Amino acid sequence: MTLVDYDTEQYRDYARGRALSAEQLRVWVDAFVAVLPGRRPLTGLDVGSGTGRFTPALAEALGPVTGVEPSARMREVAATQGHRPGVRYLAGAAENLPVPDASADYALLFLSWHHVGDKARAVRELSRVVRPGGRLLLRANFRDHHPRPWWLGYFPHGYEVDASLFQPLHEVIAMFTAAGWRVASFDMVTEPSPGTREDMLERLRLRTFSFFARLSPDEQDEGLRRIEQAVAAEPGAPSPPFAEPLLTFERSPR
Ligand SMILES: C[S@@+](CC[C@H](N)C(=O)[O-])C[C@H]1O[C@@H](n2cnc3c(N)ncnc32)[C@H](O)[C@@H]1O
Protein backbone atom coordinates (compact mmCIF):
# COMPACT_ATOMS: atom_id res chain seq x y z
CA MET A 1 0.00 0.00 0.00
CA THR A 2 1.31 3.45 -0.89
CA LEU A 3 1.93 5.39 2.29
CA VAL A 4 1.49 8.82 0.76
CA ASP A 5 0.80 9.67 -2.87
CA TYR A 6 2.95 12.77 -3.30
CA ASP A 7 1.42 13.44 -6.73
CA THR A 8 -1.99 14.10 -5.22
CA GLU A 9 -1.20 15.06 -1.60
CA GLN A 10 1.57 17.10 -0.08
CA TYR A 11 3.45 18.27 -3.20
CA ARG A 12 1.89 21.74 -2.88
CA ASP A 13 2.82 22.24 0.75
CA TYR A 14 5.85 20.02 1.24
CA ALA A 15 8.50 22.67 0.51
CA ARG A 16 6.83 25.10 2.96
CA GLY A 17 5.87 22.53 5.59
CA ARG A 18 9.33 20.96 5.65
CA ALA A 19 11.52 23.99 4.84
CA LEU A 20 14.97 23.95 6.42
CA SER A 21 16.76 27.03 7.73
CA ALA A 22 20.31 27.66 6.49
CA GLU A 23 21.58 26.47 9.89
CA GLN A 24 19.54 23.25 9.77
CA LEU A 25 20.78 22.53 6.24
CA ARG A 26 24.38 23.18 7.32
CA VAL A 27 24.05 20.71 10.22
CA TRP A 28 22.78 18.01 7.85
CA VAL A 29 25.42 18.61 5.19
CA ASP A 30 28.12 18.52 7.90
CA ALA A 31 26.69 15.21 9.14
CA PHE A 32 26.82 13.77 5.59
CA VAL A 33 30.36 15.06 5.02
CA ALA A 34 31.48 13.44 8.29
CA VAL A 35 30.53 9.95 7.05
CA LEU A 36 31.82 10.29 3.48
CA PRO A 37 35.36 10.02 2.09
CA GLY A 38 37.34 13.28 1.97
CA ARG A 39 38.19 13.30 -1.74
CA ARG A 40 36.26 15.57 -4.12
CA PRO A 41 34.30 15.47 -6.27
CA LEU A 42 32.01 12.68 -5.11
CA THR A 43 29.23 11.62 -7.43
CA GLY A 44 25.97 11.38 -5.53
CA LEU A 45 22.44 10.11 -5.75
CA ASP A 46 19.64 11.70 -3.75
CA VAL A 47 17.06 8.92 -3.83
CA GLY A 48 13.56 10.20 -3.18
CA SER A 49 14.81 13.76 -3.68
CA GLY A 50 11.31 15.22 -3.34
CA THR A 51 11.29 18.98 -3.80
CA GLY A 52 15.10 19.08 -3.75
CA ARG A 53 15.56 20.10 -0.12
CA PHE A 54 19.06 18.64 -0.06
CA THR A 55 20.11 18.08 -3.68
CA PRO A 56 21.67 21.50 -4.49
CA ALA A 57 23.47 21.63 -1.12
CA LEU A 58 24.91 18.16 -1.75
CA ALA A 59 26.17 19.28 -5.17
CA GLU A 60 27.78 22.37 -3.66
CA ALA A 61 29.53 20.49 -0.87
CA LEU A 62 30.46 17.24 -2.61
CA GLY A 63 30.08 17.17 -6.39
CA PRO A 64 27.48 16.31 -9.04
CA VAL A 65 24.20 14.85 -7.78
CA THR A 66 21.30 13.12 -9.46
CA GLY A 67 18.01 13.48 -7.63
CA VAL A 68 15.81 10.46 -8.35
CA GLU A 69 12.15 10.98 -7.55
CA PRO A 70 9.01 9.06 -8.54
CA SER A 71 6.53 11.91 -8.09
CA ALA A 72 6.32 14.14 -11.17
CA ARG A 73 4.74 16.88 -9.06
CA MET A 74 7.54 16.82 -6.49
CA ARG A 75 10.10 16.97 -9.35
CA GLU A 76 8.22 19.95 -10.80
CA VAL A 77 8.53 21.79 -7.49
CA ALA A 78 12.26 20.92 -7.37
CA ALA A 79 12.64 22.32 -10.90
CA THR A 80 11.29 25.71 -9.77
CA GLN A 81 14.67 26.20 -8.04
CA GLY A 82 16.01 26.83 -11.57
CA HIS A 83 19.34 25.56 -12.91
CA ARG A 84 21.69 24.60 -10.09
CA PRO A 85 25.25 23.61 -11.03
CA GLY A 86 25.87 19.88 -10.75
CA VAL A 87 22.20 19.03 -10.12
CA ARG A 88 19.81 17.03 -12.28
CA TYR A 89 16.51 15.39 -11.42
CA LEU A 90 15.34 12.16 -13.02
CA ALA A 91 12.16 10.12 -12.79
CA GLY A 92 12.74 6.84 -10.99
CA ALA A 93 12.53 5.14 -7.65
CA ALA A 94 14.77 3.25 -5.26
CA GLU A 95 13.59 0.04 -6.93
CA ASN A 96 14.41 1.39 -10.38
CA LEU A 97 17.37 3.76 -10.42
CA PRO A 98 17.93 5.31 -13.86
CA VAL A 99 21.75 5.38 -13.61
CA PRO A 100 24.54 3.00 -14.70
CA ASP A 101 26.14 0.29 -12.57
CA ALA A 102 28.78 1.47 -10.07
CA SER A 103 28.26 5.12 -11.04
CA ALA A 104 27.73 6.69 -7.60
CA ASP A 105 30.13 7.27 -4.72
CA TYR A 106 27.19 7.57 -2.36
CA ALA A 107 23.42 7.50 -2.19
CA LEU A 108 21.38 9.50 0.31
CA LEU A 109 17.88 8.42 1.25
CA PHE A 110 16.45 11.14 3.45
CA LEU A 111 13.12 10.02 4.87
CA SER A 112 12.31 8.09 1.70
CA TRP A 113 13.16 4.48 2.76
CA HIS A 114 9.83 4.01 4.58
CA HIS A 115 8.02 4.88 1.33
CA VAL A 116 9.83 2.20 -0.68
CA GLY A 117 7.38 -0.61 -1.48
CA ASP A 118 9.75 -3.32 -2.70
CA LYS A 119 12.65 -3.01 -0.30
CA ALA A 120 14.44 -6.17 -1.48
CA ARG A 121 14.52 -4.81 -5.01
CA ALA A 122 15.71 -1.41 -3.77
CA VAL A 123 18.60 -3.06 -1.91
CA ARG A 124 19.59 -4.79 -5.18
CA GLU A 125 19.39 -1.52 -7.12
CA LEU A 126 21.40 0.44 -4.54
CA SER A 127 24.00 -2.36 -4.55
CA ARG A 128 24.16 -2.12 -8.33
CA VAL A 129 24.61 1.65 -8.62
CA VAL A 130 26.86 2.46 -5.65
CA ARG A 131 30.52 1.67 -6.31
CA PRO A 132 32.35 -0.92 -4.23
CA GLY A 133 33.60 1.02 -1.20
CA GLY A 134 30.82 3.62 -1.65
CA ARG A 135 28.37 4.74 1.02
CA LEU A 136 24.67 4.64 1.65
CA LEU A 137 23.33 7.33 3.97
CA LEU A 138 19.99 6.35 5.39
CA ARG A 139 18.28 9.15 7.25
CA ALA A 140 15.43 6.99 8.41
CA ASN A 141 13.55 6.45 11.61
CA PHE A 142 13.34 3.00 13.14
CA ARG A 143 10.48 1.50 15.09
CA ASP A 144 12.79 0.81 18.01
CA HIS A 145 14.96 3.97 17.70
CA HIS A 146 12.35 6.56 17.10
CA PRO A 147 12.86 10.31 17.61
CA ARG A 148 10.49 11.99 20.03
CA PRO A 149 9.63 15.44 18.69
CA TRP A 150 7.77 17.42 21.36
CA TRP A 151 4.56 17.65 19.31
CA LEU A 152 4.06 13.99 18.38
CA GLY A 153 2.59 12.91 21.72
CA TYR A 154 -0.24 15.44 21.43
CA PHE A 155 -1.82 13.37 18.63
CA PRO A 156 -3.88 10.40 19.82
CA HIS A 157 -1.48 7.41 19.63
CA GLY A 158 0.86 9.75 17.70
CA TYR A 159 4.09 8.15 18.81
CA GLU A 160 2.95 4.56 18.19
CA VAL A 161 1.39 5.44 14.82
CA ASP A 162 4.50 7.25 13.63
CA ALA A 163 6.90 4.56 14.88
CA SER A 164 4.84 1.87 13.13
CA LEU A 165 5.68 3.39 9.74
CA PHE A 166 9.29 2.31 10.13
CA GLN A 167 11.19 -1.00 10.24
CA PRO A 168 13.12 -2.00 13.34
CA LEU A 169 16.81 -1.12 13.07
CA HIS A 170 18.01 -4.75 13.03
CA GLU A 171 15.73 -5.54 10.06
CA VAL A 172 17.24 -2.76 7.94
CA ILE A 173 20.77 -3.76 8.93
CA ALA A 174 20.05 -7.41 8.08
CA MET A 175 18.73 -6.51 4.62
CA PHE A 176 21.82 -4.54 3.66
CA THR A 177 24.46 -6.72 5.31
CA ALA A 178 23.01 -9.75 3.47
CA ALA A 179 23.70 -7.84 0.24
CA GLY A 180 27.34 -7.13 1.06
CA TRP A 181 27.16 -3.84 2.94
CA ARG A 182 28.57 -3.17 6.40
CA VAL A 183 27.41 -0.67 8.98
CA ALA A 184 29.93 2.18 8.90
CA SER A 185 28.21 4.30 11.58
CA PHE A 186 24.99 4.96 13.41
CA ASP A 187 24.71 8.58 14.51
CA MET A 188 22.07 10.76 16.10
CA VAL A 189 22.02 14.19 14.46
CA THR A 190 20.47 17.07 16.35
CA GLU A 191 18.72 19.35 13.92
CA PRO A 192 18.60 22.95 15.23
CA SER A 193 15.24 24.31 16.34
CA PRO A 194 12.88 25.40 13.54
CA GLY A 195 11.84 28.45 15.61
CA THR A 196 9.05 28.75 18.14
CA ARG A 197 6.50 26.08 18.96
CA GLU A 198 3.97 28.32 17.24
CA ASP A 199 6.08 28.23 14.05
CA MET A 200 6.09 24.44 14.31
CA LEU A 201 2.31 24.40 14.78
CA GLU A 202 1.94 26.42 11.55
CA ARG A 203 3.94 23.75 9.73
CA LEU A 204 1.99 20.90 11.30
CA ARG A 205 -1.22 22.49 10.06
CA LEU A 206 0.04 21.78 6.51
CA ARG A 207 0.01 18.06 7.42
CA THR A 208 3.14 17.21 5.43
CA PHE A 209 4.29 14.44 7.77
CA SER A 210 3.60 10.84 6.69
CA PHE A 211 1.92 9.85 9.96
CA PHE A 212 -1.07 12.12 9.21
CA ALA A 213 -2.04 9.55 6.55
CA ARG A 214 -2.54 7.00 9.36
CA LEU A 215 -4.68 9.22 11.61
CA SER A 216 -8.39 9.85 11.15
CA PRO A 217 -9.44 13.46 10.42
CA ASP A 218 -10.78 13.62 14.01
CA GLU A 219 -7.47 12.44 15.44
CA GLN A 220 -5.59 14.96 13.32
CA ASP A 221 -7.85 17.79 14.49
CA GLU A 222 -7.67 16.64 18.09
CA GLY A 223 -3.86 16.65 18.03
CA LEU A 224 -3.70 20.09 16.44
CA ARG A 225 -6.20 21.43 19.01
CA ARG A 226 -4.11 20.09 21.89
CA ILE A 227 -0.96 21.64 20.43
CA GLU A 228 -2.77 24.98 20.03
CA GLN A 229 -3.63 24.86 23.74
CA ALA A 230 -0.04 24.02 24.70
CA VAL A 231 1.29 26.82 22.49
CA ALA A 232 -1.20 29.33 23.93
CA ALA A 233 -0.12 28.40 27.46
CA GLU A 234 3.51 29.36 26.72
CA PRO A 235 3.57 31.93 23.92
CA GLY A 236 6.94 32.38 22.22
CA ALA A 237 8.42 29.20 23.68
CA PRO A 238 11.09 27.70 21.39
CA SER A 239 10.47 24.43 19.56
CA PRO A 240 13.07 22.18 21.19
CA PRO A 241 15.54 20.44 18.88
CA PHE A 242 15.56 16.65 18.86
CA ALA A 243 18.01 14.02 17.68
CA GLU A 244 17.37 12.03 14.50
CA PRO A 245 19.07 8.81 13.34
CA LEU A 246 21.51 8.63 10.43
CA LEU A 247 22.59 5.10 9.54
CA THR A 248 25.55 4.78 7.16
CA PHE A 249 26.53 1.64 5.28
CA GLU A 250 29.67 0.96 3.28
CA ARG A 251 29.47 -1.23 0.22
CA SER A 252 32.09 -3.95 0.40
CA PRO A 253 35.19 -3.03 -1.61
CA ARG A 254 35.64 -5.70 -4.27
C1 LIG B 1 9.26 12.61 3.11
S2 LIG B 1 9.63 12.86 1.42
C3 LIG B 1 11.38 13.20 1.50
C4 LIG B 1 11.87 14.01 0.32
C5 LIG B 1 13.32 14.49 0.45
N6 LIG B 1 14.24 13.40 0.60
C7 LIG B 1 13.39 15.42 1.63
O8 LIG B 1 13.98 15.05 2.66
O9 LIG B 1 12.86 16.51 1.52
C10 LIG B 1 9.60 11.24 0.74
C11 LIG B 1 9.90 11.18 -0.74
O12 LIG B 1 10.11 9.81 -1.11
C13 LIG B 1 9.55 9.64 -2.39
N14 LIG B 1 9.31 8.22 -2.65
C15 LIG B 1 8.15 7.51 -2.56
N16 LIG B 1 8.34 6.25 -2.95
C17 LIG B 1 9.65 6.14 -3.30
C18 LIG B 1 10.44 5.07 -3.82
N19 LIG B 1 9.94 3.86 -4.02
N20 LIG B 1 11.74 5.33 -4.11
C21 LIG B 1 12.25 6.56 -3.88
N22 LIG B 1 11.55 7.60 -3.39
C23 LIG B 1 10.27 7.40 -3.10
C24 LIG B 1 8.28 10.47 -2.34
O25 LIG B 1 7.75 10.71 -3.63
C26 LIG B 1 8.77 11.71 -1.60
O27 LIG B 1 9.25 12.68 -2.48
Sheet of strand 104-110, all strands in order from the earlier edge strand to the far edge: 87-91, 65-69, 44-47, 104-110, 130-139, 242-251, 181-191
In a domain, 214, yes or no: no
CA Rg, the chain, in Å?
18
∠ Cα 25 28 31 (to 5°): 150
Pocket test for ligand 1, best of 54, 55, 115 (most atoms within 8 A of CB): 115
Q: Which residue, among 246, 16, 7, has the nearest Cα to 115 in the 3D structure?
A: 7
Determine which residue's CA is closest to atom 25 belonging to ligand 1: 71
Beta bridge partners of 248: 137, 185
Please report the atom of ligand 1 found closest to the CA of residue 112: 12
Give dist(CA 14, CA 16) in Å, integer.
Answer: 5
Whole-number Å distance, alpha carbon 115 to ligand 1 midpoint, is 7
Determine which residue's CA is closest to atom 19 belonging to ligand 1: 116
In a domain, 227, yes or no: no
Supply the mean pLDDT for the chain: 95
Q: What is the pLDDT of residues 214-227, one digit of tens each?
A: 999 999 999 999 99
- Specify whether the backbone of 92 is left (phi greater than 0), alpha (psi in -120 to 50) or beta: left
HEC secondary structure over 29-53: HHHHHHCCCCCCCCCEEEECCCCCC
Does 131 have pLDDT greater than 80? yes
Whole-number Å distance, alpha carbon 49 to ligand 1 midpoint, is 6
In a domain, 3, yes or no: no
Looking at the structure of the chain, the number of domains it has is 1
Give dist(CA 232, CA 254) in Å, integer.
Answer: 58
> What is the pTM for the complete model shown?
0.96
What is the domain extent for residue 23?
A: 11-148+161-194+241-251
Pocket of ligand 1 (CB under 6 A): 6, 18, 47-50, 53, 69-71, 74, 93-95, 110-112, 115-117
- For position 201, what pLDDT does the model report? 96
Determine which residue's CA is closest to atom 13 belonging to ligand 1: 48
- Over residues 35-39, mean pLDDT: 97
Give dist(CA 115, CA 1) in Å, integer.
Answer: 9
Whole-number Å distance, alpha carbon 235 to ligand 1 midpoint, is 34
Does 1 have pLDDT greater than 70? no
Q: Which residue, among 155, 167, 124, has the nearest Cα to 218 in the 3D structure?
A: 155
Sign of the CA dihedral with 37 first, then 176, 115, and 201 last: negative
Q: What is the pLDDT of residues 56-110, one digit of tens each?
A: 999 999 999 999 999 999 999 999 999 999 999 999 999 999 999 999 999 999 9
Decide: 134 and 106 in contact? Cβ < 8 Å: yes
Determine which residue's CA is closest to atom 22 belonging to ligand 1: 48
Whole-number Å distance, alpha carbon 217 to ligand 1 midpoint, is 23
Whole-number Å distance, alpha carbon 207 to ligand 1 midpoint, is 16
Decide: 56 and 87 in contact? Cβ < 8 Å: yes
CATH classification of the domain holding 114: 3.40.50.150
- For position 15, what pLDDT does the model report? 87
Whole-number Å distance, alpha carbon 229 to ligand 1 midpoint, is 32
In the chain, % of residues over pLDDT 70: 100
In a domain, 226, yes or no: no
Please report the atom of ligand 1 found closest to the CA of residue 53: 9
In a domain, 232, yes or no: no
In a domain, 2, yes or no: no
In a domain, 90, yes or no: yes
In a domain, 215, yes or no: no
Provide φ and ψ at 60, rounded to 5°. Answer: -65, -40
